Amino acid sequence: MRDERPPVWFMRQAGRSLPEYRRLREGVPMLESCARPDMVTEITLQPVRRYGVDAAVFYSDIVVPLKAIGMDVDIKPGVGPVVARPIRSRDDLEQLRPLEPDDVDFVDESVRALVQELGATPLIGFAGAPFTLASYLVEGGPSKHHQVTKAMMHSDPDLWHELLSRVAGISATFLQVQIAAGASVIQLFDSWAGALSAADYARFVQPHSTEVLSAVTDVPRIHFGVGTSEFLGLMGDAGAEVVGVDWRLPLDEASRRVPGKPVQGNLDPALLGADWSVIEAEVDRVIAEGRNAPAHVFNLGHGVLPDTDPDVLARVVDRVQAAGA
């Protein structure tokens, strides 16, 4: 077992719970803020200044590239991404043209500015994985059961694979732009993949996640999904160097399921509202379990919740950075 402390950063650390973020975003719609390099730069830097985390996370959203190719998509407060014209037929696929780097020139500008500001602190870029983006496109918004998505997947697999292949190309280009501008690491998010069985994931999703990851081999890659414990090995086989783990599975067991790969995670974000003695013990447990893996990046098991106390996150960072000192 290793004694050194793991690096630490948090998913959704840029924004949400920070009062300085809310002040800056006041009156500015989410997708507009993602297209303004001055705001993107400031919001990305805020948690680095406040917490001293070991990496910055690029402030953006997984639907930014969809908006950039002209799709009528918006993020409604309290709801999430909403698509005006869902993709339900082959004709609807024509909405999904390839993403060109010039479509997201604001991303290039933002990343270059951030790399200059961050110096030695790495910048993590990200994109949505094909299944999660496709689920929004097919359902028209967030879905609890993904009925329309699963019906298409099984009833018209040719349409499904064409849809995911197009989305994979869009996500790959979005990541390539970030890497070319200076991002040091990328993460592919599959927030809704846990709605699937392992068999469906292997048949309908994994090849397209592999498609994205195989297109971005210049930097280390992290692959994260929520509720994916039962097919964590399949996610590991998709091609990323690091596998993100949600809070449902201990990291030592996760490491057994993705042998030879570093793991990332996995403090339950809901526990950040508990007493400090509880949080402290959980942080120590996660670090101890992570030492059974080849390497460990300390993180939450999902994103920072909006009502999380920033001072608690600061104490978590301090606790992790003191481990093994």
| Mean pLDDT to the nearest integer, 317-322 | 97
**Contact, 272 vs 309, CB < 8 A?**
yes
State the alpha helices, DSSP H only, in 119-265.
130-139, 147-155, 157-181, 198-200, 206-214, 232-237, 251-257
Catalytic site residue 12?
Answer: yes
H or E segment at 16?
Answer: none
| pLDDT exceeds cutoff 70 at 308 | yes
Percent of the chain with pLDDT over 90: 96
Indicate which residue of 12, 166, 257, 291 is catalytic. Answer: 12
Secondary structure class of 140 (helix, strand, coil): coil
Catalytic site residue 25?
Answer: yes
Indicate which residue of 21, 51, 59, 136 is catalytic. Answer: 136
Q: Which residues pair with 297 in a beta bridge?
A: 264
| Mean pLDDT to the nearest integer, 83-89 | 96
**Contact, 306 vs 78, CB < 8 A?**
no
Contacts of 165 (CB under 8 A, 6+ apart): 130, 208, 211
Indicate which residue of 25, 36, 50, 112 is catalytic. Answer: 25
Comparing CA positions, the residue from 239, 91, 112 lying closest to residue 181 is 112
What pTM was computed for the model?
0.96
Structure tokens at 77: 């407060």
| pLDDT exceeds cutoff 60 at 269 | yes
**So what's the pLDDT on residue 203?**
98
State how far the Cα of 281 lies from the Cα of 315, in Å rounded to an integer. Answer: 13
Indicate which residue of 61, 103, 190, 246 is catalytic. Answer: 61
**Contact, 57 vs 44, CB < 8 A?**
yes
| Mean pLDDT to the nearest integer, 71-85 | 93
N- to C-terminal Cα separation, the chain: 15
| pLDDT exceeds cutoff 90 at 243 | yes
Tens digits of per-residue pLDDT, 102-112? 999 999 999 99
Alpha carbon of 110 to those of 33, 37, 115, 117: distances in Å?
11, 5, 9, 11
The amino acid at residue 156 is: D
**So what's the pLDDT on residue 1?**
52
Comparing CA positions, the residue from 177, 218, 225, 211 lying closest to residue 60 is 177
